[in-house]
Structure 1
Amino acid sequence: MAPSKPTSGELQHRVAFDERTTVDDGYGNTEGGFAERFKSWAAFRPRGGSEAVVAARLEGRNILGVYLRSTAQTTQIKADWRMRDVRTGDVYAIRIVDAVSDRYWVYVEVQTGVAA
């Protein structure tokens, strides 16, 4: 059975979406950083987690399903962007963006513990 769509009462998390930009440092080099594009209210749904061995250490990774209202801004989200929780400051790498399956909601799958 497909997961149920969120209600407006579940949109309790304020998130910001950042796009990678390149900036000239004045010495002929470019620096890659992130610039905030917009903020939105979101509903988080836990999707489980996993563990990975990195440098002989076990690291936990959490996967979240995030629902956003479909707007002109949220339909522009790309997989090379990152998402930040404005309240906690947590940074998430975007894995999957689905802006076409539902005309009312944009589904974004994000993951912690990986490079954004």
Structure 2
Amino acid sequence: MAKAGSGQLHYQVALLKREDVDDGMGNTVSDFVEQFQTRAEFIHLRGGESVLAGRLQGKHTQVVRVRNSSNTRLISTDWMLRDVRTGESFNIRDIEHEVNRQFISLTCESGVATG
């Protein structure tokens, strides 16, 4: 396995948090609002039973690694991640702070309803 480093963070992702937003007519609606953007690495999961079952349902599970920072430490599982280049959105299912404390791994799932 290659040594993990910031040189593998090829993608730009936006992290969005659900917030109440004024709709301009005196009401508030809940919508995802971009909090920040950061560089990321996408790691596609291949063979687990749940991964294969998810593919049959049109879901794609993958790990997105981001550098540990004051912003990325705020991320929780009720946030959403968006690939800036493609516009594809992902629900964040799990957050793991890696042992080396340099990166945070986000288990994400696309192809599902966001929220």
Name the structure with the higher strand share. Answer: 1
Structure with the bigger percentage of helix = 2
Q: Distance in 2 between matches of 1:97 and 1:5?
A: 21
* TM-score of the two chains, using structure 1 as the length reference: 0.81
Give the % identical residues.
36
Q: 1:82 to 1:112 in 2, by over 3 A?
A: same
> Alpha carbon RMSD of aligned pairs, Å?
2.2
> Residue 39 of structure 1 aligns with which residue?
37
| Aligned residue pairs, count | 109
Counterpart CA distance in 1 for 2:24 and 2:111 is 33
Question: Which of 61, 69, 79 is 1:71 aligned to?
Answer: 69
From the superposition, tell whether residues 5 and 112 of structure 1 become closer, same or farther in structure 2 (CA, over 3 Å).
farther
Q: Note if contact 1:50-1:60 (Cα within 8 Å) is conserved in structure 2.
A: no
TM-score (norm 2): 0.82
Partner of 1:61: 59
Q: Which runs of 5+ in 1 are unaligned?
A: 53-57
- Residue type of the alignment partner of 1:77: I
AA at the equivalent of 2:11: H
- Displacement of 1:101 in angstroms is 4.3
